[in-house]
Amino acid sequence: MTDGALPVVMAVTGASGAPYAVRLLEALVTSRQQVQLIVSDHGLRLLQTETDLGSVSELRARVGIEAWDAHVQVFDDGDRGAAPASGSARNRGMVICPCSMGTISAISQGTSRSLVERAADVALKERRTLIVVPRETPYSAIHLENMLRLTRAGAMILPASPGFYHRPTQIAELVDFVVARVLDHLGLSHSVGRRWGDAEDT
């Protein structure tokens, strides 16, 4: 497998922020990036609550069936023997979007009770990119300590904290701001959102 064909492992957990997950998955598929997708039970409940997508099948329809079938491989969160759980199975990194504080805690302690947690553990031990996108406020001292522990282990903490210098007028623009930063740190070319200094549309 060439580097250009290496998949991104993407996990969706039960922190508020399902629109970020849907938009990120759409952007990855649009860019023809292979994706290994893991949706936890709480992540699926989150998708239903915040986006009315009650199943992975409905998420597939939202993203686009043809593009999904060409680029997305789904793994059960309970399958700790799946490819993302092995360091010998190559990928270009992992993003957990959104990432619950419970998931951050488990990864920071190395407990690996699920495929999401094991895949993140693998990313750290193999020195691959690991991006976690928390959406929580305020942070407790425990949250901050867990995020610091992950940062020191090599992960990137990329909070779902959109900027406003681009004068957003729609929620979609706020979502794109965060998704664009995730794509940047995965090293992927994209046209999501507007960068600082870009001219406004006329």
Set out the domains of the chain in order of their start, with CATH numbers: 3-185 (3.40.50.1950)
Backbone angles phi, psi at 191, to 5 degrees: -125, 30
107-135 burial code (b ≥16 CB/10 A, e <16): bbeeebebbbbbbbbbbbebebbbbbbbb
Give the separation between CA 181 and CA 125, rounded to whole angstroms.
24
Rounded to two decimals, what is the model's pTM? 0.93
Give the separation between CA 110 and CA 101, rounded to whole angstroms.
14
Task: Give the pLDDT confidence score for residue 172 in this predicted structure.
Answer: 93
Task: Give the pLDDT confidence score for residue 188 in this predicted structure.
Answer: 87
Tens digits of residue pLDDT in 104-148: 999 999 988 999 999 999 999 999 999 999 999 999 999 999 999
pLDDT band at 1 (very low <50, low <70, confident <90, very high): low
Give the separation between CA 39 and CA 148, rounded to whole angstroms.
25
pLDDT band at 202 (very low <50, low <70, confident <90, very high): very low
pLDDT at 195 over 80: no
Tens digits of residue pLDDT in 33-74: 999 999 999 999 999 999 999 999 999 999 999 999 999 999
